[in-house]
A = this chain, B = another copy of it.
Amino acid sequence: MTDTPPIRRSPVPPSECNLWKAFELIGDRWILVILRSAMYGLRRFDDFQNELEIPRSILSNRLARLVENGLMEKREYREDGQRARTEYPLTKMGRSLGLSFTALTEWSDHWIGKGSGPLSLRSKTTGQKLAVALVDEQGMPVKNDDIETVIVLPPKASRQPKK
């Protein structure tokens, strides 16, 4: 889409990139759909399984990874007269993915849903539709042509782009 010369190596190498590490935690379709349901409030193994139509062994594996990586907690609960069962609530780290999920929902409504989708966020007081945007330290919006990328690597991580 552009005729500028290609970049040969990313200015942030994978070893220094937190986004890269995030993809190691959540770069998996099952993990992502489990997190989607968890954002809506699902917590129980059987409820995830019913909604996602996921084999039990895969669900078990992905929930264990989510717990191990700090995105979910594992805890026991017991309903009256029933045996103890396990539920998986999101941790604060897991819930904090909400803004990224909202940004991705906007993208998917635009590019996959042809401009609309079932879920929207609104202001309770004004009823206005809310959208994800870049804002400055006062919370004020910035124009696209006013945005610059600053990259500061630890000295050892800097490297010349290969020719």
Contact = CB atoms under 8 A, between A and B. Distances in A.
Contacts of A28: 27-29
A23 B12 contact: no
User: How many interface residues does chain A have, given as a range?
Assistant: 35 or more
Majority DSSP secondary structure for residues of A touching B:
mixed
**Residue in A22, A33, A43 whose Cβ sees the most chain B Cβ within 10 Å:** A22
B20 A33 contact: yes
Nearest to A73: B1
Interface in A87-142: 87, 89-93, 95-97, 99-113, 117-126, 128-142
Contacts of A56: none
Contact of A12 (B40, B89, B135): B40
**Residue in A6, A44, A70 whose Cβ sees the most chain B Cβ within 10 Å:** A6
A112 B30 CA distance: 21
Given A14-B52, A51-B10, A29 B36 contact: no
Interface of A: 1-2, 4, 6-14, 16-25, 27-33, 36-37, 40-44, 47, 50-52, 70, 73, 87, 89-93, 95-97, 99-113, 117-126, 128-142, 146-154, 157, 162
